[in-house]
């Protein structure tokens, strides 16, 4: 994984500490670097959960992360920072998730009101209900277990991400990393349905756990550990792995997936929060709430995409 820490300034002149990721030479281009038909030169992801500075989302250490903001407002605030800025996408989240799996560095975090549930010797600087100040935990709370990794992806706040949703249980997504710039509205033409090779729509059926199926589900809500999720498909399409519906480490993944197959639209929250104890983890996925939800345990982080220079004729 090629990355470095940098500071970017938005159009309000405010700084954010970001982690810059660039494509690796000699490897197939990851979908995270494909944005609306263009190749991204780099993707910058907020090192910290975002806090609001003069109403602008910023990535700064030892701050109180913003929450109690709904999906549309958070996305608009991120895009107001200037061209290329956006709310972190599910593609970007999964890029970090897979790098952590491959590196054996799945991050710990604030999953027990200021501490890490599986090792309470690990803690951050606590405030309010059990939140911790951004980046105040040990290095094991980063996605690389090193000081230059992305902080607090596991626990503290659930984080809203763009480009994935459930529609009455049907899995819908925006391809590649197009959600960084695409229209995210409920009626956007960018949304497409996950399908099997035979063209069947794929659903998450809730009730008695969660099942990946091609049968339209009843209206219900439930959750289970990923490793206990039932997959009623003959073959798992690659798109389900790209979206984090079927994570690369599913057989060992103790984090939870939650689904509501009755919601007209359920947007994704990732990473769990400060009271999710043994259910939490970087892979955790909550697909049960409308985009209008606001909560003291749901936040977000901004990201930025930098494109290759376009060739021009002389």
Overall size of the chain counted in residues: 314
pLDDT tens string 158-215 = 999 999 999 999 999 999 999 999 999 999 999 999 999 999 999 999 999 999 999 9
What DSSP letter does each residue of 128-191 carry, written as one string?
TTTEE-TT-S-GGGBTTSSTTS-B--SBSSEEE-BSEEEETTEEEE-STTGGGTS--STT-TT-
Cβ-proximal residues to 60 (8 Å cutoff; 6+ apart), any chain: 15, 16, 17, 48, 51, 53, 134
CATH 1.10.10 fits 1-314, yes or no: no
Q: Which pLDDT belongs to residue 1?
A: 52
Q: Which pLDDT belongs to residue 314?
A: 38
Nearest Cα to Cα of residue 206 among 138, 257, 249, 264: 257
Between β-strands 131-132 and 15-21, what pairing exists: parallel, antiparallel or unpaired?
unpaired
pLDDT tens string 75-118 = 999 999 999 999 999 999 999 999 999 999 999 999 999 999 99
Domain ranges of the chain: 1-314
Q: Which pLDDT belongs to residue 129?
A: 87
Give 239's DSSP letter.
H
Cα–Cα distance measured from residue 110 to residue 130, given in angstroms and rounded to the nearest whole number: 8
Nearest Cα to Cα of residue 138 among 154, 127, 157: 154
Q: Which pLDDT belongs to residue 4?
A: 96
The mean predicted confidence, pLDDT, of the chain is 96
Instruction: Name the helix (H) or strand (E) containing 270.
Output: strand 267-270
pLDDT tens string 125-135 = 999 989 999 99
Q: Which pLDDT belongs to residue 308?
A: 82
Q: Which pLDDT belongs to residue 2?
A: 72
Encoding tokens for residue 142? 């980063």
Instruction: Name the helix (H) or strand (E) containing 6.
Output: strand 3-9
Cα–Cα distance measured from residue 190 to residue 187, given in angstroms and rounded to the nearest whole number: 9
Q: Which pLDDT belongs to residue 313?
A: 42
Give the helix, strand, coil percentages of the chain, each rounded to 5. Answer: 15, 35, 55
- The answer to whether residue 123 scores a pLDDT higher than 50 is yes
Task: Give the whole-number percent of the chain exceeding pLDDT 90.
Answer: 95
Q: How confident is the model over 266-289, as a mean pLDDT? A: 96
Residue with tokens 């391809």: 175
Instruction: Name the helix (H) or strand (E) containing 99.
Output: helix 90-103
Task: Give the whole-number percent of the chain exceeding pLDDT 70.
Answer: 98
- The answer to whether residue 146 scores a pLDDT higher than 90 is yes
Give 49's DSSP letter.
-
Q: Are 245 and 285 contacting, i.e. CB atoms less than 8 angstroms apart?
A: yes
């Amino acid at each position: 994984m090629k990355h470095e820490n940098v500071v970017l300034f938005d159009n309000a002149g405010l700084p954010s500490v970001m982690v810059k990721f660039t494509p690796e030479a000699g490897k197939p281009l990851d979908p995270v670097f494909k944005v609306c038909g263009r190749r991204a030169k780099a993707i910058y992801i907020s090192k910290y959960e975002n806090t609001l500075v003069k109403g602008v989302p910023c990535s700064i250490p030892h701050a109180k992360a913003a929450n109690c903001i709904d999906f549309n407002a958070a996305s608009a605030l991120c895009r107001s920072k200037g061209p290329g800025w956006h709310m972190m996408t599910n593609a970007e989240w999964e890029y970090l998730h897979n790098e952590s799996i491959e590196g054996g560095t799945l991050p710990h975090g604030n999953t027990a009101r200021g501490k890490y549930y599986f090792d309470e010797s690990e803690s951050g600087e606590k405030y309010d209900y059990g939140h911790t100040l951004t980046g105040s935990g040990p290095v094991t709370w980063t996605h690389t277990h090193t000081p230059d990794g992305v902080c607090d992806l596991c626990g503290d706040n659930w984080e809203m991400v763009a480009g994935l949703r459930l529609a009455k249980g049907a899995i819908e997504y925006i391809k590649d990393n197009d959600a960084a710039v695409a229209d995210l509205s409920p009626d956007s033409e960018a949304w497409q349905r996950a399908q099997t090779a035979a063209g069947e729509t794929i659903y998450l059926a809730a009730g008695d756990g969660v099942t990946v199926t091609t049968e339209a589900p009843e209206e219900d809500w439930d959750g289970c550990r990923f490793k206990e999720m039932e997959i009623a498909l003959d073959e798992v399409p690659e798109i389900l792995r790209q979206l984090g519906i079927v994570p690369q480490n599913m057989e060992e993944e103790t984090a939870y997936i939650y689904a509501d197959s009755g919601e007209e639209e359920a947007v994704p929250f990732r990473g769990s929060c400060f009271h999710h104890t043994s259910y939490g983890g970087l892979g955790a996925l909550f697909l049960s709430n409308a985009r209008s939800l606001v909560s003291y345990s749901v936040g977000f982080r901004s990201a930025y995409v930098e494109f290759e220079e376009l060739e021009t004729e002389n």
